[in-house]
Structure 1
Amino acid sequence: MQPIRDVSLSNAQDLMVSLSSSAPSILESGFQDGHAAPGAQNITLPGPLSKRYLDRQQQRESNARSYPRRIHLAIREAKGIYIKDVDGNLYFDCLAGAGSLALGHNHPAVLAAMREALDTNLPLHTLDLTTPIKDTFVEELFASLPGEFARKAKIQFCGPSGADAVEAALKLVKTATGRRSVLSFQGGYHGMTHGALSLTGNLKAKQAVSGLMPDVHFLPYPYAYRCPFGLGGEAGHHMSSHYIESLLDDPESGIVSPAAMILEIVQGEGGVIPAPDEWLRQIRSLTRDRNIPLIVDEIQSGLGRTGKLYAFEHSGIMPDVLLLSKAIGGSLPLSVVLYDEALDQWAPGAHAGTFRGNQLAMAAGTATLRYIVENRLSDHATKMGDRLMAHLRQIQSDFPCLGEVRGRGLMVGVEIVNPAIAANRCGSYPAYSQLASCIQAECLRRGLIIEIGGRHSSVIRFLPPLIVTAEQIDSISEIFERGVKAAVEQFL
């Protein structure tokens, strides 16, 4: 095979011809959701065609690229929960665009909505000018919110990413309160732009970036398995809320009156850590009593993934600011900030963004939201998440390197640990990042795409589309078990 750096136009055309004449498509081969699964045989990765694409990507793309370093394939096509690579290998996709693909790949309802929108000659670029499609999207979104929140809510369309929503929310609360400090949480993830990165707990991406947003203060998040107070359970989250209350009321705390507190109901990139409902109610009470706006980041957890349309509904709290992206655009880029009208103090033009009027995303988002609501996919996510976690806990009984299985709905995490090293005072073993990476690789070789995250990159994360079936959950679990077994044989 010729080195990829010397590929000419004709070579590239030959590659496309080779690709188009390879294995039949998912639909052509009769492969349908629920009736077949990726093969149990080990896949050689990367395949020869995938390697050519990956080599070219390595030469042309930034050193900051991440997923191709762990998921060694080039995608040819996708449908539902399935992906086929350019070499014809099939995979279950439990990454799903980091949770963006609520209905999976190329869902008929989403495609139909986009085709209908295009057939009307809609303007694809509108800035923040309104259109019937935008008006319908807003009405559908507000109808999905709890009435208590929706009745007082305003919406701001941002740039296309979740981080853009975070940046807009920071400007909103600082403008409305006239304050400057922001409270965030250890383990939280809010994006990679300058302000959002300042709020993010993970140190790796921050170390090389000087001059991040000042006056950000990190608080202990209730993480039972690795309790920051060495307590765990109810005692741990009570200590967390007590500490935060003490800090807020201490005139010697060193923290000036906050413009806001930001948190995730389920920390995603931080390791799939659900906050206890009681703790959330305590935090909401503390912030409300002190007139501190509470920003809830549901960029990954929103639209049914946790078993409710919005994860904050589990606890019954009402945020002051709600951040949505990922699934809200129906697989296309879109982000919004929803907030209490009392905060609507900024002037016209105080926040803008060229690509805040993505009409196709609004059409796809409306179709996605309707489908989730009409088909009660939130309830389905609860059932499928419970089924997946039951399988994982059964696997855990045979493999003690699975330190904890946790999650909510179809946000599920498995913390990988080294049981050969002594546990800490809470009974948790040290993180084992090398084993977690090996498990991810062994699962990929067997046709399962999963992600890793959390402390020391030691948490296996499952984010399948909400349309996943019970049979698919069973197959995913079987592949995961084989992947764990193969990895353990190499390490333990």
Structure 2
Amino acid sequence: MTVPPSTVPPVALPAQATAATVAADAILRRQRARESSARTYARSFPIVPVRASGMTVEGTDGRRYLDCLSGAGTLALGHNHPVTLEAVRRTMDSGAPLHVLDLATPEKDDFTDALFATLPSGFADRARVHFCGPAGTDAVEAALKLTQTATGRSGLLAFTGAYHGMTAGALGVTGSVAVKERVAGGGAEVTRLPYPYAYRCPFGVGGEHGAALAATYTERLLDDPAGGVVPPAAMIVEVVQGEGGAVAAPDSWLREMRRLTSQREIPLIVDEVQTGVGRTGAFWAVEHSGITPDVLVLSKAIGGGLPIAVIVYDEKYDGWLPGAHTGTFRGNTLAMAAGAATLRFVTAEGLSERAATVGARMTARLDGLRAELPAIGDVRGRGLMIGVELVDAEAPSDSCGARPVDAELAVRVRAACLDRGLIVELGGRFDATVRLLPPLTITDEQADAVVDRLADAIATVSKDAAQGRQA
């Protein structure tokens, strides 16, 4: 397979582009001067979006980009989809209250109906829903508090490579050391367990054997009276680690986690903030393995692009007192309306199946490029949650065949993608994995363009790097 040439023609900017560029530069300068040093995406993408539709984002200079970030997975239907816009307009025109704390409203009732209709078989029949603050991290906090209250325990089981949010409890169960080491108490009372990661297997064997060893290690650690693990309040896990680099857990391993937690009466929390609403090729990622969690943590795409977060859990854990987990912004009427419309549209249009089909095709094309682009160390993921790990192609490989990551190359590839009109972000260990999170409405032509542009960026940056080493 040959590496396709760039499919991005020279952009013919309108006459007013120069003035628009000057204005955009001024906006970016003011942002740098006034916003905190914790800015993230704004550093990676020095553009000023002014319009967006579907997968396309347009900057002030008129240049258009294919958005493979989708609000970090929030925009299941892409930007400004007619279904969500109509739901928002209808709600606004109806005179419905837009802020109601946790009062019952027709919009909340309809959203709950739409959400419960999508839940795995058997789960909805005994489920309760709690509306949290509008971010996924607050829903993680709620899930942890719920299980701690129900069990009377405090310890937690979490995994290497995990990402669950930036508030105190969520940060404790997150795997990244960099975001925790300067925060007092960032480690929390958490036992860290090995997540199966075939390309960089923690046991150095990879594949199904590595996943089986991870499961065996977990079970023996929990049963070891000298293992140091006090019976925990919960285990929290992602079916596919998003920020961790699009690392998908084997279905068999997830079933083992469900078995061992059930046998030991440890509540199982599954964080589907990024994997939910069709992203992985099933409406909820747990459906691939057939497991039923005790708690589902949901946010991002469930609001149709607007902020909302909930936990859905087995009613046997509903031992909270009134006000046990509260917050002002739990009644976002517009998000409920947009979310209900999105949930129903994804179901009616079969977008989960579409994500599985298109994602498999994109992954296969990218994997086929590895022979000609040795900087591509691994291609992985599930559905439209894809990771391309970039490595030092000249370094020796380890026992699993993995070469060292090349974080500098990844940063340059991200910039080269932006030059080609493609927005991608990095994740994984050392931020060396290019992550693809396109909307579920991506067309075949757009999918091909994404792969073409990414491949061209990798080829060009790799060539430049090789020439630089020879100079």
Normalising by structure 1, report the TM-score. 0.91
Distance in 1 (CA, whole Å) between partners of 2:246 and 2:188 is 27
Q: Is 1:233 matched with 2:202?
A: no
Structure 2 letter corresponding to 1:351: H
The corresponding residue for 2:465 is 491
Residue 213 of structure 1 deviates from its aligned partner by 5.9
Q: Which amino acid aligns with 1:409?
A: G
Cα displacement (A) at 1:481: 1.4
Residue 9 of structure 2 corresponds to 40
Equivalents in 2 of 1:95, 1:50: separation in Å?
Answer: 21
Quote the residue 1:114 is aligned against: 88
Q: Which amino acid aligns with 1:158?
A: C
Say yes or no: does 1:476 pair with 2:450. Answer: yes
CA contact (8 A) 1:387 1:470 kept: no
**Aligned residues of 1:241 and 1:283 also touching (Cα < 8 A):** yes
- DSSP-derived class of the 1:92 partner: strand
Deviations 1:10-60 (A, max 9, x none): xxxxxxxxxxxxxxxxxxxxxxxxxxx984338999943332211110011
1:362-382: per-residue Cα shift (whole Å, max 9, x none)? Answer: 000001001100000000001
Q: Which residue of 1 aligns with 2:327?
A: 353
Residue by residue over 1:206-249, the C-alpha shift from the partner in whole angstroms, topping out at 9 and shown as x without a partner, is 11111236311110000000000001011100000000000110
| Maintained 8 Å contact 2:172/2:189 | no
Q: Distance in 2 between matches of 1:365 and 1:214?
A: 33
CA RMSD of aligned residues (A): 1.6
Match of 2:163 in 1: 189
Amino acid at match of 2:419: R
Q: Residue 306 of structure 1 contacts residue 408 of structure 1 at CA under 8 Å; is this kept in 2?
A: yes
Residue number in structure 2 paired with 1:60: 34
Q: In the TM superposition, what is the alpha-carbon distance from 1:485 to its structure 2 partner?
A: 1.5
CA displacement 1:249-286 (0-9 Å, x = unmatched): 01111111000000000000001000000000011000
Are 1:401 and 2:358 an aligned pair? Answer: no
Partner of residue 180, structure 2 = 206
Whether 2:331 is the aligned partner of 1:362: answer no
2:46 alignment counterpart: 72
Q: What secondary structure does 1:255 align onto?
A: coil
1:478 Cα deviation (Å)?
Answer: 1.1
CA contact (8 A) 1:42 1:446 kept: no
2:376–2:390: 8 Å Cα contact kept in structure 1? yes
Alpha-carbon distance in 1 for matches of 2:321, 2:7: 54
Residue 131 (1) aligns with residue 100 (2) = no
The whole-number CA distance in structure 2 between the counterparts of 1:443 and 1:406 is: 19
Q: Deviations over 1:101-150 (max 9, x none)?
A: 00000000000001111111000000000000100000110011122111
SS in 2 for 1:370: helix
Q: Quick one: which amino acid aligns to residue 106 of structure 1?
A: N
CA deviation digits over 1:373-398, x for unaligned, max 9?
A: 00000000011101211221232221
Structure 2: gaps (5+ residues): 1-5, 467-471
Aligned pairs for 1:129-208 (under 5 A) are 129-208=103-182
**1:125–1:358 contact (8 Å) kept in structure 2:** yes
Question: In 1, Cα distance between the equivalents of 2:224 and 2:364?
Answer: 44
The answer on 1:263 being equivalent to 2:232 is: no
Q: How far apart in 1 are the matches of 2:341 and 2:347?
A: 10
Cα displacement string for residues 67-92 of structure 1 (whole angstroms, at most 9, x for unaligned residues) = 11111101011000000001111000
Question: Identity of paired residues, percent?
Answer: 52
Structure-1 residue corresponding to 2:416: 442
**Residues 353 and 277 (structure 1), Cα distance of their counterparts in 2 relative to 1, 3 Å cut:** same
Q: Is the 8 A contact 1:95 1:449 kept in 2?
A: yes
Partners in 2 of 1:222 and 1:213 — Cα distance?
A: 21
Amino acid at match of 1:50: A
Partner Cα distance (1:42, 1:271) in 2: 32
1:93 aligns with 67
Cα gap change, 1:48 to 1:490, in 2 (>3 Å): farther
Q: Flag structure 1 segments of 5+ consecutive residues without an equivalent.
A: 1-36
Q: Are residue 276 (structure 1) and residue 250 (structure 2) matched?
A: yes
- Residue 18 of structure 1 is matched in structure 2 by none
Contact 2:281 2:354 in 1 (8 A): yes
Instruction: Out of 46-55 and 66-75, give the one that drifted further.
Output: 46-55
CA contact (8 A) 1:183 1:260 kept: yes
User: Is the contact between residue 11 and residue 63 of structure 2 (CA under 8 Å) also seen in structure 1?
Assistant: no
The answer to whether structure 1 residue 375 and structure 2 residue 349 are counterparts is yes
Task: Report the equivalent of 1:392.
Answer: 366
Q: 2:3 corresponds to which residue?
A: none
| Distance in 2 between residues matched to 1:395 and 1:455, nearest whole Å | 22
Please tell me the residue identity of whatever aligns with 1:353: G
Tell me, in whole angstroms, the C-alpha distance in 1 between the residues paired with 2:143 and 2:393.
42
**In the aligned structure 1, how far is the partner of 2:242 from the partner of 2:401?**
23
Partner SS, residue 465 of structure 1 = coil
Contact 1:264 1:296 (C-alpha < 8 Å) held by counterparts: yes
Report how far residue 349 of structure 1 moved. 1.1
Spell out the pairing of 1:216-255 with structure 2 (5 A cutoff): 216-255=190-229
Counting only pairs closer than 5 Å after superposition, residues 445-464 of structure 1 correspond to structure 2 as 445-464=419-438
